[in-house]
Chain A
């Protein structure tokens, strides 16, 4: 059943037209849809595609043609409803849309009680806007990217003198007094405070705690470069002192990628000299677990940090590796590896979380594996084939040009997945799916859709392992996302580290290997 909707002499934002086209195409029962101006060449194309009916032939170059081929009247009615919604109703909403303050001053006139400003302007303007907020006595959550290093340092030095915080940049997660900022999950309030230099690290740990029934007091994302020697952990140190004085925080977790030994020592000593129990995870740090004390534990992975904090909170020792590789995991790995082409045991990891990338690279290297974490010119499949396993952080700036962050926008990952058909070396696909506020509303559908586009033979030989970072209370629903992935043949693991362990075991055939990381040997 074919229907053409013609809107005479009509102009719409091209973004609206693209959105309409995509939404129509995705409707169940719609086999083809096109949205085009009625130029002669476009009408020829629509005719060739069997998408032009008599009314469409009458359209001129300034008329918009919406063409829909659907299975039945009901589907067509639904599709026409989408057309109405996007081309008529949306315009009306935008027309009389609510007024929002356009400046910080106007926002403060409306909310003089505000204490925190979320700044999300392009990086080159971030200093100016952040400084305006700090001068008015507001804490700043800085969500901008590409903030110049010297600007970040200046802002943080100023904030420190005023007793204020600058959270971020390069870290898009904060939960302050139960209020989430930017990317965050719906986690319960509780007694564990998290301070992180990384957004996804905070999300991973807070979700693991939530799944274990524990909540957080505060989650403070101090910025991916805060522990750089030039900045010296200014906000990290201030945040530690704040949580040490916070009566609602019983245990503090500190998460960061490895920094300089001096900075790591400053942070560790600050925690050790304070009144509260703590867990520190400097991913890839040289500080061995053995240097931990009864009150300040050293965790080597994010899941280990969560379990250690739970242990401290609940009075257990809290230093056991939380997800030790079990016989069950080995059995699962053996079963999955049986599907693999023996010549294609390479892991291809497509990650949206920077900390999760770092964790994957570090853990695989601990297993003695060779890892490549950069693609030549960003081209996938890579040529020439890089050595070892391949871990790609699609949140890097080169991949986010012209689109949203991959936590929200799955196009780059789904495109790479489809291209796996051209590159048979990668037999194990490893993914992180971040749920929660600000994230994609249905990541499972995106991944499943891309996997289903692979030829059957390629799909069946591909082992897909994913970790889901989320909670049952998140809008996407942790359980339903996991169930749908599972039904599509994706093996879902409870943490990123555990997904990496499984992928590693699958790559080794799940047989005759010692799966315990070297670092665990060293400390036991």
Chain B
């Protein structure tokens, strides 16, 4: 048996707070990736354990450094037990994660202005991806995305909700591409939640329309992403990319922020970015295209 390694957890998504502050629970490793682990806790709640920075999901726990070699060295595998006991997580008696010095990451309530020029730059970066996402190859997905766009522009919220339900669980990937697109759309709408009535109305309608479907219609991972997004919590990496669009638009920062985000997964980054930009564009359009828009 390899010796127990002890690591400090540096940050965690705020939506994990209730789970991590519970005094004790038992879970298991439900997936092992090349450089990350997925833990399933009580009530099927997911925790994504990662190294590096920033948090790649709203339900991530982050340690410093690269987790991949540690997983290999300690031979951690699927099905192994995870025990939460006080301020630490024990994984199969091989890895101990200390939670005392951890900070919670909460998606910001974004404030600032969206510059149409920054949005154009971001769209260009996305357009230059030859096969930007999993949705592209699917007619039904393209149609649904188009419906969401049209519904947001025209303020027809019911149209947005109906099209969104068609996207849940649709497409390739561990998080189906449709789910990724919806998370991006929700992020875009959240950014305007302060300033406009339409996005607030749309967010509320989407919460009502999508919540009952998630469990049956998509994977646990996809459901977790959408579920957290509907409550305003997103991956830190998405928040950072979004922040680059706030004026003043720095071309280098926008391109590099979006480009870094596109590197998430095989298609997830691109699908999420597409949903995000669709929502922003629609909000800008509804408010007059050439205006810098307060959000």
- A54 an interface residue at 8 Å Cβ cutoff? no
Q: Which A residues between 387 and 416 are near B, CB-CB below 8 angstroms?
A: 397-399, 401-403, 411-412, 415
Q: Is A75 an interface residue (CB 8 A)?
A: no
**Nearest CB on A from B259, distance (A):** 4
A11 adjacent to B270 (CB under 8 Å): no
What is the size category of the interface that chain A forms with chain B? 35 or more
Bound-complex Cα distance A99 to B166 (A): 45
| Any A CB within 8 A of the CB of B1 | no
Stretch at the interface among B13-21, B109-117, B126-134, B199-207: B126-134
- Find chain B residues with CB under 8 A from A15 CB: 265-266
Across the interface, B268 reaches (CB within 8 A) one of A14, A61, A397, namely A14
C-alpha gap A15/B263 in the complex (Å): 10
Residue from B175, B178, B220, B266 with most neighbouring chain A CB atoms (10 Å): B266
A41 to B213, CA, bound (A): 12
CB distance B218 to A61 under 8 Å? yes
Interface 1/0 per residue, B262-293 and A, CB below 8 Å? 11011111100000000000000000000000
A42, CB-defined interface residue at 8 Å: yes
A39-B169, A99-B69 given as contacts; is B221 within 8 A of A11 (CB)? Answer: yes
Which residue in B140, B166, B173, B178 is a CB contact (below 8 Å) of A14?
B173
Within 8 A of B (CB), among A28-83: 34-37, 39-42, 45, 61-62
| Assembly CA distance A35 to B169 (angstroms) | 13
List the A residue with the shortest CB-CB distance to B33.
Answer: A13
Separation of A445 and B267 alpha carbons in the complex (Å): 24
Question: Counting CB contacts under 8 A, is A451 at the interface?
Answer: no
> Contact: B171 with A36, CB < 8 Å?
yes
**With the chains together, A37 CA to B172 CA distance in Å?**
7
Identify the closest chain A residue to B269 (Cβ): A402
- Contact A411 B69, CB 8 Å, known A36-B176, A42-B176, A61-B216: no
A41–B131 CB distance below 8 A: no
Is the Cβ of A45 less than 8 Å from the Cβ of B138?
yes
Task: Please indicate the chain B residues that have their CB under 8 angstroms from the CB of A18 in the complex.
Answer: 172-173, 266-267
Distance of A126 from chain B, by nearest CB (Å): 14
A314 contacts which chain B residues (CB < 8 A)? none
**Which of chain B's residues has its CB closest to A377's CB?**
B124
Contacts of A377 in B (CB 8 A): 124, 127
B38 at the interface (CB under 8 A from A): yes
The answer on a CB contact under 8 Å between A42 and B170 is yes
Do A402 and B176 contact each other (CB < 8 Å), given the known contacts A14-B265, A40-B169?
no
**Are B267 and A14 neighbours in the complex by a CB distance under 8 Å?**
yes
CB distance from B265 to the nearest CB of A (A): 4
Identify A102's interface contact among B69, B71, B175, B220, CB under 8 A.
B69
**Docked complex: B19-65 residues within 8 A CB-CB of A:** 30-34, 38, 65
Q: Which residues on A sit within 8 Å (CB–CB) of B131?
A: 411, 415
The number of chain B residues touching the other chain, given as a range, is 35 or more
A512 within 8 A of B: no
Contact A102 B66 (CB under 8 A): yes
B72 touches A96 (CB 8 A): yes
A40 to B266, Cβ gap below 8 A? no
Instruction: State whether the Cβ of A521 lies closer than 8 Å to any Cβ in chain B.
Output: no
B interface footprint on A4-27 (CB within 8 Å = 1, 0 otherwise): 000001111111011101000000
Cross-interface CB contact of B129 among A91, A96, A403, cutoff 8 Å: A403
A95 sits at the interface (CB 8 A): yes
**Bound complex: CA A100 to CA B72 (Å):** 12
A229 interfacial by beta-carbon distance below 8 Å: no
Whether A94 sits at the interface, judged by CB under 8 Å, is yes
Partner of A401, one of B38, B125, B219: B125
CB atoms of B169 and A42 under 8 A apart: yes
Q: Nearest chain A CB to B166's CB is how many angstroms away?
A: 7
> Does chain B have a CB within 8 A of A179?
no
Assess whether B69 is in contact with A37, with CB atoms less than 8 Å apart: no
Partner of A37, one of B68, B176, B268: B176
Distance A61 CA – B168 CA, assembled complex (angstroms): 11
Determine how close the nearest CB of chain A comes to the CB of B269; give it in whole angstroms: 8
CB pair A402 B259 closer than 8 Å: yes
Q: Which of A41, A379, A397, A402 contacts B270 (CB 8 A)?
A: A402
Of chain B, the residue at the smallest CB distance from A36 is B172
With A45-B138, A401-B129, A402-B263 as known contacts, state yes or no: A12 contacts B174, CB within 8 Å. yes
- Partner pick for B130 among A61, A96, A415, CB 8 A cutoff: A415
A21 and B266 alpha carbons, distance in the complex (Å): 11
CA distance A13 to B168 in the complex (A): 20
Please give the distance in Å from B49's CB to the nearest CB on chain A.
13
The answer to whether the Cβ of B77 comes within 8 Å of any Cβ in the partner chain is: yes
Residues of B within 8 Å of A62, CB to CB, are 219-220
- Chain B residue at minimal CB-CB distance from A379: B127
Check if A455 is an interface residue, CB within 8 A of chain B.
no
Once A39-B217, A45-B140 are accepted as A-B contacts, the answer to whether A11 and B130 lie under 8 Å apart by CB is: no
Interface residues of B in 213-271 (CB under 8 A from A): 216-222, 255-256, 258-259, 262-263, 265-270
Which B residues are in CB contact (< 8 Å) with A415?
A: 130-131
Q: How far, in angstroms, from A11 to B103 measured CA to CA in the complex? A: 28
Say if the beta carbon of B101 comes within 8 Å of chain A.
no
Interface residue from A11, A19, A37 paired with B30 (Cβ < 8 Å): A11
Q: Is A97 an interface residue (CB 8 A)?
A: yes
Q: Which residues of B contact A12 (CB under 8 A)?
A: 31, 33, 174
Closest to A414 in B: B130
Determine which of B124, B125, B170 lies in contact with A41 in the assembled complex, contact meaning CB atoms within 8 Å: B170
Cα distance A14–B219 in the bound complex, in angstroms: 13
- Are B169 and A11 neighbours in the complex by a CB distance under 8 Å? no
- Report the nearest B residue to A398, measured CB to CB: B128
Q: B75 near A: Cβ within 8 Å?
A: yes
Distance A398 CA – B125 CA, assembled complex (angstroms): 7
The answer to whether A21 touches B170 (Cβ under 8 A) is no
- Closest residue of chain B to A399 (Cβ to Cβ) is B128
B31 & A11 in contact (Cβ 8 Å cutoff): yes
In the complex, A311 has a CB within 8 A of chain B: no
Contacts of B176 in A (CB 8 A): 36-37, 39, 42
A11 and B69 form a contact (CB under 8 A):
no
Chain A minimum-CB-distance residue to B252: A146
Which of A17, A40, A401 lies in contact with B262, CB distance below 8 A?
A: A401
Chain B 164-186 interface residues, beta-carbon cutoff 8 Å to A: 166, 168-176, 178
- Judge whether A378 is part of the interface by a CB distance below 8 angstroms: yes
- Contact A61 to B219, CB < 8 A, known contacts A15-B265, A378-B128, A415-B130: yes
Report whether B127 and A378 are in contact in the complex, using a CB–CB cutoff of 8 Å.
Answer: yes
Q: Which residues of B contact A378 (CB under 8 A)?
A: 124, 127-128
A94 to B70, CA, bound (A): 11
- Report which B residues bind A (CB closer than 8 A): 30-34, 38, 65-66, 68-69, 71-73, 75, 77, 124-125, 127-132, 138, 140, 166, 168-176, 178, 216-222, 255-256, 258-259, 262-263, 265-270
Task: A99-B69, A399-B128 are known; give 17 further A-B pairs, CB within 8 A.
Answer: A11-B31, A12-B174, A13-B33, A14-B173, A18-B172, A18-B266, A37-B173, A41-B140, A41-B168, A42-B169, A42-B176, A61-B218, A94-B68, A94-B72, A95-B72, A377-B127, A379-B127
Interface residues of A (CB under 8 A from B): 9-15, 17-19, 21, 34-37, 39-42, 45, 61-62, 91, 94-97, 99-100, 102, 146, 377-379, 397-399, 401-403, 411-412, 415
Instruction: Supply 5 A–B pairs (Cβ within 8 Å), ascending by A.
Output: A37-B218, A37-B219, A45-B140, A61-B218, A401-B259
**In the complex, the 7 A-B pairs of residues with the closest C-beta atoms, listed nearest first:** A39-B169, A11-B31, A18-B266, A14-B265, A14-B266, A402-B262, A415-B130
